[in-house]
Structure 1
């Protein structure tokens, strides 16, 4: 009798290159379409912008919620990566400012998704917990660096700044809201710096 061969699990098949490329194109297109919002923010519009058929979109993202979550997670990951990059190449206060500007851009995409897809993300959801934890850690690194350099006051935490960014990003839907949110965030960051200067001991 032949000796039984041990059972082995076949290695997982890697996604095809064209499939990976299509998924990335769909995520980029979805971010642009959802950012614009309005009646044109449909899954069909996403597929058209990505240059693929609607069937390809559904193979990657069976529901609009799945597409929403993938886009949102991708933008959170990009913001986390950006924080590390800014810490390496920018002065502390400028790194914080540029990161908050990018955060407004992410909020703009999220607003478009919420409006177009009628999809609510509340504080009890898994994706809220995921994004809050990752963004808080990224912001903590930026704030700690700025505080250690004496560029901002030391008693502000990442939750405070994140709340300010989200609040300013969601305060209205009038034309030009994004530029206004960035302007107000700049004032907020300037205030943190001015407070730090005022607290520094005299020589």
Structure 2
């Protein structure tokens, strides 16, 4: 039984390399990403890619899931390092990057969700949960408003990122995210 363990570890490393390579490829692609190119860049054969991901949809789903895990878990990590308002603004940048990198795989995701080949994600709920974590910390600290539901913040962010779209500049997106943060800040009156 022990001889199987290195093979499993090797297979796990190959899977992780394929996901990391696919993440980079989808993030920078203007069109369809070649699975053969992903395998080559990861240093594995196409057969290895297909053993782990029998379809393009399976690979896209794995990449999407890994990135969603990263963006949602980053909320707590940022709070460990930064004050809540600063953590929220940094997290918004991270979320904007997450949305931006999905453009290279959006058609595959939509088709997969519509056909049922890719499980419909709980993206909005998970994103809203991450926002709630930061808002709660900020309300407790007194820097962020406690009267704004996290779902409303999610809606604002989605609106910003859709309106900036592919034609929006990173400067415009940054300005709009600054406005969202400003709306969430506690206002101190004179003498407080």
Gap regions ≥5 residues in structure 2: none
Q: Is the 8 A contact 1:108 1:178 kept in 2?
A: no
1:152 matched residue in structure 2: 144
Over 3 Å counting, the alpha-carbon distance change for 1:19 and 1:169 in structure 2 is same
1:48, distance to aligned residue in structure 2 (A): 2.4
- Which of 66-75 and 161-170 deviates more? 161-170
Give the deviation of 1:47 after TM superposition: 1.7
- 1:108-151 deviations in Å (ceiling 9; x for gaps): 12121115x473447x984332x223222221110111122221
Structure 1 contact 26–57 (Cα < 8 Å) conserved: yes
How many residues end up aligned between the 2 structures?
185
Cα deviations across residues 84-124 of structure 1 (Å, max 9, x unaligned)? 11121110101111111111111112121115x473447x9
| Higher Rg of the two aligned structures | 1
The answer to whether the Cα contact below 8 Å between 2:32 and 2:104 also exists between their aligned partners in 1 is no
Structure 1 177/113 Cα, relative in aligned 2: closer, same or farther at 3 Å?
Answer: farther
Cα deviation, residue 38, structure 1: 2.0
- The CA RMSD over aligned residues, in Å, is 2.5
Alpha-carbon distance in structure 1 between the residues aligned to 2:140 and 2:52: 45
Counterpart contact for 1:83–1:139, Cα < 8 Å? yes
Matched, 1:197 2:187: yes
> Tell me, which stretches of 5 or more residues in structure 1 are unaligned?
1-9
CA distance in 1, matches of 2:33, 2:169: 19
What per-residue deviation string (whole Å, max 9, x for no partner) do you get for residues 138-167 of structure 1?
Answer: 211101111222212222122112222222
- 3-state SS of the aligned residue for 1:155? coil
Of 49, 52, 56, the residue aligned with 1:57 is 49
Q: Please give the TM-score of this superposition, normalised by the length of structure 1.
A: 0.79
Q: Which runs of 4+ in 1 moved over 3 A?
A: 117-122, 124-127, 176-179, 200-203
Deviations 1:9-37 (A, max 9, x none): x9xx7661111111111111111111122
Q: How does 1:2-21 map to 2 (within 5 A)?
A: 16-21=8-13
- 1:92, 1:151 within 8 Å by CA — same for their partners in 2? yes
Residue 136 of structure 1 pairs with residue 123 of structure 2:
no
Question: When the two structures are superposed, what TM-score results if normalisation uses the length of structure 2?
Answer: 0.83
In structure 2, which of residues 93, 99, 110 is the aligned counterpart of residue 107 of structure 1?
99
